[in-house]
Structures are given as structure tokens and as C-alpha cells.
Structure 1
Amino acid sequence: MAISNFVKRIQDVMRNDSGVNGDAQRIEQIVWILFLKIYDAKEETWELLDDNYKSIIQEGLKWRDWAVDRKDGEALTGDGLLDFVNNTLFPTLKNLEIDETTPMRQVIVRNAFEDANNYQKDGVLLRQVINIIDEIDFTEYKERHEFGAIYESFLKDLQSAGNAGEFYTPRAVTDFMVKVVKPVLGDRIGDFACGTGGFLVSALNELDKQVGNSLENREIYNNSVFGIEKKALPHMLCVTNMLIHDIDDPNILHGNALEMDYKDMRKMEHFDVILMNPPYGGSEKDSVKANFPTVLRSSETADLFINVIMYRLKKNGRCAVIIPDGFLFGTDNGKFNIKKKLFSEFNVHTVVRMPHSVFAPYTSIRTNILFFDNTEPTKETWFYRVDMPEGYKNFSKTRPMKLEHFNDALNWWENRKEIEMDGFPKAKKYSIDEIVERSYNIELCGYPHQEEVIPEPMELIQEYQEKRASLNAEIDHVLEQITSMLGGN
């Protein structure tokens, strides 16, 4: 069947339902229905492979029991369907009994429904949406993988769905980061703010090429990735994404990776590869900041995630993480100490400066990719600037960043050399002594020409606050040196 217009057909139906307001609710509505359909297809496979398999979903509540319209006039619809979904299905799935012995493939059902909602108020329209989703045969390999591409375009639509856009990192960026980090089968790959699972999928696509026909390799593949996501909608999106990509036991937790004492983090699983785009521009509660040593506390969420990465990256492990410009130039106490620890204990070998509007329309905050590994202290760091492609003034939903825009960076990665353009450095190597001398202000190889970008008011305020804090810290540092030279206290 042709499923290229799958999302559009559902959206057209939902627009007539008064209970669904806006893209964010429409997406959440599609996702819980889609999750149950995909999960039921997976369960059919598990039942065939294991005669002793027992579902956590009781009879009568499985997709096959109530959602499939067999055209015999018996399918639930209208008020009867609404009553079943609101008063039986949701309450039961939200309160499924689980314990430490419950397999992850079953735990995800309750996790997925903890904060889910049925927004539709018209039972006839709900039946129409269910029937469209039921047309897809997820037990057929070709159709399931064709749907993977549809799901990707569906996730991209999140970028125009208000705050939901924060959960999607452009595929070109995740693919570039995976290409240079080079995950191999057997690596444990983690993302502690995984959103819809973009980094994990890019990594899985790379690992899938290494599986071959080996069942043992397929089992290793199935246990390769781990994610944590704080918010309900992207968590369910990510779990569904993993099921689509043949991860039968998605180890995707619903929680906040920052809400754990750093001493406990040290005892938890460490990872060979960490790929992340942590939230930035936000501020955590004091109780969350208190989970970290005093010198490593920061008001910026992204800074705290750098701490988490440092505690959970395995010896010889490698990391690629997206960070805002504020992390580069910031020299306030928190950022200074975090960067000092990072450069002193890890090998920060590369910083890639990305052009503006990569994350448009969600945010115009400038971003960078920090690459480091847990091998040795930093001796030198390369900075490389990715320029806006010729003919582009801004990236947008209709003209997004593509992997080909990283071609020059990929070529440079394997054959590093310093590059100067129009009198400004595009690629340059700095020694650790030079970086320390700058008080870890690593805003280097930046953009010589200011693009015509007007940030959102709150983004502008955030940027000014970070620059003011950085400037104050630099002034304090100079005053301390002068006072020390004069022999004062």
C-alpha cells in the first residue's frame, strides 16, 4: 500500500475533531495510537518465537482485540469507542503492575502511557484515525522499513509544533556526528536527553551495516543503545522509533538524568559512546544543581549535562555533544570549572562551529559540536568552522541543513590542516596552554561576518546575561591577579 500520505490523511481527519488543538496535541494523539499498533505487531512476533511469552496487556485491550475493524459491523466506534478508550484502556495501561523482574519490552508500555492523553472527543473520527493506522502491516519487513522514512518526516514536523520542536535534531547533524565518532558493534551508546531518538537511530543505522546474517550480532545490536528522556511526548516518540528500528527491548527511561547525585552516577553504567544535544537556555531547580559538587554547579542545563557525560563516559570512550555558544565563551565560576575539569581529564580534540539557523524555526541560538574522548588530558584542540552553503542566507523547514553541507568538514576531519579565509581562521589548532591562558574562553574560529539574525527576546536576554557573567568573571580574575602581585588579600 502507499503510505506516503499517511500523516496528512490522519491530520485531515483530526482537524474536524474539536478536542484536538494544534500540532502538538495532534502528534501526541497519533503517537499513542501508533505505539499500540506497532507494539501489537511486535508481540505477534515474540509469541511466534517464544511459546511461553505472556503479554503485559490483558486480553481485550490488545490492538488486535479492539482496534481492528473486520468490517462485520462489530468494531467499536462513536461513544462506545470513547468510553472504552477513556475509562478502560487508558486507566489500565497507566497502572500496569511492574517490578524489577518485568522485562524492559513490557515496562515501556506503562512508561509510554504514564502521561499520555486521548484528546479526541468524536468517537467516529477516532475510529477513522485508528483504521488509517491499522492499514500499515508492521509484520512485513519492507512496509515497516518504508514507514521508518515516513516516521522520520513525521518527527521533522515537530519543528513547527511549538515547544515540541526542541525534541528533534536535524538528521544531517546526527549523521555527521555518528560518522566521525564511528560506533562499532559491541559499543554501548548512550543519550541522556534523547528526545525522539535521533542520535540513537543514526547510530543504529551505522551498526546495522555491521550485523550481517549473524543472530548473535543481531542480539548485540538489540542491546546497543540506551536513552533517558524527561518529557512524556518525546519519550513515547523515542520508544516507538526504537520499535520501528527493530529494537525489541528499548532501554529508554522516562526521567531526568540530572536528578541523581553525582556519587551515584559514578557507580552506574558507563558508555563507550555518548551522543547528545542536551537542552540549553533553561535553568534547573536548586535541588537538581545540588546533585553536583559545588564547583561544578551551573544555572545552565547544558552545563550540567556535560558533568553527567564526564561521570558516565567509559575509559577510552568517545563523545560528541552539541553545545550553545554560551558554553564556549562563558568564564563564570561554573563554566570555568566544568571546562577546566573537561580539558584536564579528557581529550577535547575538536570543536566544530555550526552556522546559524541549523535548528530553525525552533531556535536561532548558535550551536557547536564538542568532540572529546576519555583517553588522556587535552594537549591541543582543533577548531573548525562550517560555513553557510553558497546560495543560503538561512536554513529553514523547506531548506534544511543536509549531510552534504558537512562534506568539507568530513574531508578536513581525515586530513587536518589550518585554513584561513579572508584573513580569518576557518580551521586552527590551539595548544592547551593557549586555552588555559584564555581562562577556557574557547570561542575561536567564529564567523567573521555577522549574519542578519534577530534572536527571540528571551534568547537575546539569555545571551546578554551569559556574556555579562563571563565579563564579570574575567574582571574578577584580573583583579585577583593584580591583588596577588601587590601582595594584598
Structure 2
Amino acid sequence: MSDLGSFVKRLRDIMRNDAGINGDAQRIEQIAWLLFLKVYDAQEENWEFDDENYQSIIPENCRWRSWAADDGKGTALTGDHLLDFVNNTLFPTLKNLDVDSSTDIRKAIVKSTFEDANQYMKDGVLLRQIVNVIDGVDFGDYEESHAFGDIYESILKELQSAGSAGEFYTPRAVTDFMAEMIQPQIGEKCADFACGTGGFLVSWLKQLEKQIKTTEDAEAVNDSIYGIEKKQFPYMLCVTNMLLHGVENPRVYHDNSLLKDVLDYTEKDQFDVVLMNPPYGGAEKNDVKNHFPSDLASSETADLFMSVIMYRLRQDGRAAVILPDGFLFGTDNTKVAIKKKLMNEFNLHTIIRMPGSVFSPYTSITTNILFFDHTGSTKQTWFYRLDIPEGYKHFSKTKPMRTEHFDPVREWWGNRTEIVDGDGFKAKCYTADEIAEGSYNLDLCGYPHEEEEILPPKELIQEYQEKRASLNANIDRILEKITDVLGIDLKDGD
């Protein structure tokens, strides 16, 4: 296929003429399941080459090579015939494949990918055009397949402008930086318990690829990832992403990480490394909270994921996790209990404060990267504020965060010093005792007040909620100190 760069645009232009497609989110979902089948078929060719006894889980008439390939002789399905086949044969067949716990993961992913997938197109001629464009990509050609990995990244970036689907995409500069700083080693296993489209897993794989020297190394890298994704659409994108990056047995599961009792996890459920950006802002119901010890049973999604991470990080394991400011300054009993457990049982050695617009345009909520390891309790924590680069007012879709924007952190990382900036600190080390005395408030080395920016109503409300929570937390801390000094017990109503 020539001009890979125009791939997404060509598909979008064709779909704009189809009455069944409503908006970018549906357009991208339609592309996603077609891409999965094409990529999967290319992988099956490799598996057949390596094993003459390989049997596909997909019935012959539903394999991409059987119905999608167009030999140009006018025999390929199109129009109403193609629509009828896709709607009434292909989808029902793939949704109802015979899969159980003993099924090979590389086969089981077909059913889980299609369980909740949707076919939106209503024009069979346009669908044939779409199929032909996708079939034109030669995944048997290493160079073209490798180049397509970059095109797939552009499809994932499109999610940021496709409504709420943007929550599944963490900017590649961020995932690459986190994977780099965690220093992956061949033989280790990395997990993401809310893996979205698989960005963290890809960044992990890219770090390991540089170290491959033998066939055994390559096999270890292929077996080094583990992902769970609750939502069907990003799950489908993630599985395809892993196949595109050479993972033959993608251990990616369509499941909810919060629906298992954390106390039931054993050593075999633990991982050397956890890299993730937990969903935040969500409120979980009691049936979810019941899977956690009462003191850790928060209704905030990100808090619960932090507990999952702590229970599933192997002894001596390492983690890098993105969390919103609300986790850092929160002083409610549950947040404090989670932070106390984190600092008492793990070494929270570094917190990188990121600019508010890193996830623009999806959200302006300020986020942070917490680096910790399972080597003992925290003695001290370094904080570093990463500022917006010179010449930027904020990051945006047209001016996204790039990997070089993390260069100041990289330079500071190996030679840590305190940095004074204006009236406060840009980088500073706090002891565990100092943090405990501050009621485990981790909102340190934050951003100075900036001029007001007019935001969309939903983001404005979210920002005010964050500010109110931060203010309440500060008031609670001050009141606690005053009542301690005066010897007043407010619980008695005095």
C-alpha cells in the first residue's frame, strides 16, 4: 500500500458517505474491528508457517482471506451481499466462538474482541471500499508492517477528538518516559490493570527490544506483558496493538480489575513492574468497594486502583503510576490510609508534578507520576515540578507534549538537587516524617497561581471541584492543628 500517511484520511472520507456512521467514535470503532481481522489473519499466516498443524478458531468462510480479499475478478462480496454476510454470518459466528479456560489465548482473543463490537455501516459498496483499503496493507512485509505501527498510533491519537474515548489514550511522550525511567530488564513481566489501547505496554516493549540479543530474549519479551481492560472498544484496539508489535500471545483480558478481592491475590498474581494511568474521577458502587479492606474502600476509582497495584506488585518490584492532584492533597480517611500504606510498605521515592494540559484536549486536570518500589518503607520522597516548555502557553492537540519535554527531568533524575523557583521550590526532598506530620499531604512543589483560562463547562466544574477539595483539605489540616493545641475534641460537640 502506497502512502501510509493518508490511510486514516482515506477511510474517514469513505465513511462520511455512509448513513450508518455517526461521528468519529463510530468511524474509528468500525475501522478497529476490520483492522483486527486483517492483522490477525497476517499473524495466522505466521503461525501456520511455524506449525503445519495449526488450526484457526475462525471457520474458513469467516477468515479475512476468504471473504475480504478482492482478486479483482468481480467475485468478491459487495453491496447487499457483503452487508448480509457481515451482519448475519461474520458477527454472530465470531461473537459465539466456542471458548473456555483451556483455549489458547491467541485464539480466545477473537471472541473477546468481538463480544461487544459493532458493525455500523449500511452501505455495502462503501464497506467494500473500506475493506479494500485495509486489505491493501501488506503485514507480511516487515517494513510496511513496522511503518503501520506508526499509522496505528495516529488512529489512537484520533481517539482524543472522539468524545470520551480520549480517556483511553495517554500521550506517548508520557508512557515512553515512564517506561524509560523504570529501566525494564529482559525476563521481567509488566502489568497495566486498566490498559486502554496498550500505550504503556508498547512503551515497555520498545525499551526491551533494544536489549534483545538471542531467540530466548525475544521469546521472553513476547511473554512480558499483561493487561486488563474493562471497556470493549479500547480492549479491541489494545489486542490489535499488541499483535502489530509482534506479541503473538497477547495476555490482554477483557475484564474489570476492581472485581476481585485484593486480599485473595497471591505471589503468582504479582508482577515485577506496573505501569499505568488508572481511570480517575469515577465513583464506584458498594459491590466494587466490598472487594477491598474497609479502610481502603474508597468510592474514587483511582484510589481503588492504587490498592490493586500495591497488592499486585512483587517484592522488589517497581511501579510508575499517573494520579490526579486529588490523590495528592486528599485528607479523607480512606485517601490517608492508602497513602499511609504506600509510604509504610513501599518506597515512594519520586513524584513528578506534570503541567495541567498534558492530557489536553480531553481534560485540564493536573496529573502526577508517582514512582515507587516494593523494597521497604519510604525514607524520603523527591518532588519535581515539570514546567511548560518555553514558548508554550499550554499543550494542545496541535502542540502536544513531546519526549524532549521530559529532558529537564532526565537531567535532574541522576543528580538530584533542590531547586528554588521564585517564592517556592521546583524540586525538593521531604522526609517520610515530614510528610506524615502534614497528614500525608503530597501536594508539594506544585504550580504557582496562573492567569485564569476559560474552560468548557464540564471541565470548569471538574476544576472547581478539585480546588474546593484542595481548600477543604487545607482547612481540615489547620482546624486539626488548632483543636490539638487547644485540647478541643469536636466529636463531643464542644
Q: TM-score, normalised by structure 1?
A: 0.97
Residues 487 and 152 (structure 1), Cα distance of their counterparts in 2 relative to 1, 3 Å cut:
closer
- 1:244 maps to 244
Partner residue of 1:467? 470
Distance 1:147 1:247, change over 3 A: same
Rounded Cα–Cα distance in structure 1 between residues aligned with 2:163 and 2:474: 33
2:196 corresponds in structure 1 to 195
Stretches of structure 2 that go unaligned for 5 or more consecutive residues are none
**Aligned residue number for residue 450 of structure 2:** 450
Distance in 2 of aligned mates of 1:383 and 1:57: 52
CA contact (8 A) 1:332 1:472 kept: no
Alignment match, 1:87: 88
Match of 1:256 in 2: 256
What is the CA distance between 1:424 and its match in structure 2?
1.8
Counterpart AA for 1:440: Y
Instruction: Give the match's secondary structure for 1:190.
Output: strand
Moved more, 47-56 or 259-268: 259-268
State how far apart, in whole Å, the 1-side matches of 2:489 and 2:113 are: 63
Question: Who is 2:319 aligned against?
Answer: 319
Deviation at 1:282, TM superposition (A): 1.1
Per-residue deviation, residues 330-381 of structure 1 (Å, max 9, x unmatched): 0101100000000000000000000111000000000000000000100000
Q: 1:374 to 1:15 in 2, by over 3 A?
A: same
Q: Which residue of 1 aligns with 2:420?
A: 420
Contact kept? 1:295, 1:334, Cα under 8 Å = yes
Partner of 1:127: 128
Q: Which residue of 2 aligns with 1:29?
A: 30
SS in 2 for 1:4: helix
2:82 counterpart SS class? helix
Report the CA distance between 1:112 and its aligned residue: 0.4
Measured after TM superposition, the shift of residue 488 of structure 1 is: 9.5
In 2: Cα distance, 1:266 partner to 1:474 partner: 37
- Counterparts in 2 of 1:113 and 1:483: CA distance versus 1, 3 Å: farther
Shift of 1:72: 1.2
Distance change (3 Å), C-alpha of 1:160 and 1:488: closer
Aligned to 1:183: 184
Distance of 2:417 and 2:174 partners within structure 1: 22
Q: Per-residue deviation at 1:40?
A: 0.4
Q: How far off its partner does 1:298 sit?
A: 1.2
Alpha-carbon distance in 2 for matches of 1:64, 1:194? 30
SS in 1 for 2:5: coil
More off after superposition, 456-465 vs 162-171: 456-465
Check if 1:64 corresponds to 2:65.
yes
In structure 1, stretches of 5+ residues that fail to align are: none
Q: Is the 8 A contact 1:111 1:254 kept in 2?
A: yes
1:170 and 2:171 aligned: yes
**8 A Cα contact 2:267 2:314, kept in partner:** no
Task: Report the counterpart of residue 138 of structure 1 in structure 2.
Answer: 139
CA distance in 2, matches of 1:256, 1:466: 28
Structure 2: distance between partners of 1:486 and 1:219: 62
How far the C-alpha of 1:186 sits from its partner, in A, is 0.7
Distance 1:289 1:266 in 2: 20
> Hey, what does 1:383 align to over in structure 2?
383
Query: Quick check: 446-455 or 5-14, which moved more?
Result: 446-455
Is the 8 Å Cα contact of residues 265 and 308 (structure 1) preserved in structure 2? no
Alignment deviations for residues 432-483 of structure 1 (CA, whole Å, 9 cap, x no partner): 1100000001100011232533451441353145336635753674477468
Distance in 2 of aligned mates of 1:482 and 1:417: 35
Amino acid across the alignment from 2:470: K
The answer on 1:47 being equivalent to 2:48 is: yes
**Any conservation in 2 of the 1:417–1:427 contact (CA below 8 Å)?**
yes
Identity %: 60
One-letter amino acid of the counterpart of residue 67, structure 2: W
Counterpart of 1:333?
Answer: 333
Give distance in 2, aligned partners of 1:299 and 1:433. 28
CA shift digits 1:382-434 (9 cap, x unpaired):
00000110010010010001111110100100110111122321110000110
Shift of 1:266: 3.9
Contact map agreement 1:159 1:362 (CA 8 A) in 2: yes
Distance 1:112 1:480, change over 3 A: farther
Report if the CA contact (8 A) 1:229-1:253 is conserved. Answer: yes
> What secondary structure, in the 3-state scheme, does the structure 2 residue paired with 1:314 have?
strand
Question: Residue 307 of structure 1 corresponds to which residue in structure 2?
Answer: 307
Higher mean alpha-carbon deviation, 463-472 vs 289-298, is at: 463-472
Deviation per CA, 1:196-220, whole angstroms, max 9, x where unpaired?
Answer: 00000001001111113x2211111
CA distance in 2, matches of 1:49, 1:336: 53
Q: What's the CA shift string for 1:99-121, capped at 9, x where partnerless? A: 12211101100010011000000
Verify the 8 A CA contact 1:228 1:254 in the aligned structure 2. yes
- Does the CA contact (< 8 Å) of 2:352 and 2:370 recur in 1? yes
Amino acid in the other structure paired with 1:245: H
Structure 2 equivalent of residue 436 of structure 1:
436
1:430 aligned counterpart, secondary structure = strand
Spell out, residue by residue over 1:200-246, the C-alpha distance to the aligned partner (whole angstroms, 9 max, x if none).
0001001111113x221111111000000111110000000000000
Shift of 1:264: 2.1
Q: Which residue of 2 aligns with 1:235?
A: 235
Task: Mark the CA change 1:267 to 1:432 in structure 2 (over 3 Å): closer, same or farther.
Answer: same
Contact 1:235 / 1:254 at 8 angstroms: preserved in 2?
Answer: yes
1:35 alignment partner, SS class: helix
| Whole-angstrom CA distance in 2 between matches of 1:256 and 1:111 | 13
Letter of the structure 2 residue corresponding to residue 181 of structure 1? I
Alignment of 1:269 with 2:287, yes or no, is no
Q: Distance in 1 between matches of 2:435 and 2:67?
A: 63
